[in-house]
Amino acid sequence: MQTNEDAKVESVDIERVRQAKKRQFLFSNLLTVGLLGFYAVCVFNQWPTAYFLNLGTVVLIGIAMYKLFSLWRGEAWGSKDIRVIEAFEKEQMGREKWRRNRRIEISTLIAFPVIALGFLGLTNFGRKPADLFSLFLPMGLVWVLINAREIGNIKKLSK
């Protein structure tokens, strides 16, 4: 007997969602490589680390504002991939649970940069960065772990 959740998943083209998630995964990796590359440029040019932290803060707040606008509007805003993924998530989770999860995500995306800016104000980041691996290595490890989780989530869609 088919359950309600199985019926929900079958009504959306899983292969289309997988392809959209793969493209979104590629874009997020390109953005991360760009941020890590900017950090490397900051290190090699002996620019203050605050430049990198300010850019990261602007990117995170921009993503949060986009998601907030999408939540406020009630529908996805952007590419077809974003709309397909959001429709799939809403259908699979249910509208209320999806809205609650989106609010938590937006709160996190806003709180993290605010805390980082507070940390920036209390710490002397105007000094020259010590070396390339002081921030690059931890960020690279987190990036690898996030990628592993995302690849697992994409593979789970095919089951």
Q: pLDDT tens, 21-65?
A: 899 899 989 988 888 888 788 778 877 777 777 787 888 888 888
DSSP classification of residue 128: P
DSSP classification of residue 40: H
The pTM for the full model equals 0.69
Rounded to whole angstroms, the Cα distance separating 135 from 81 reads 32
Cβ atoms 52, 116 nearer than 8 A:
no
The ranges of the chain with pLDDT < 50 are 1-9
pLDDT at 37: 84
Closest by CA position to 80, among listed 137, 23, 151, 150: 23
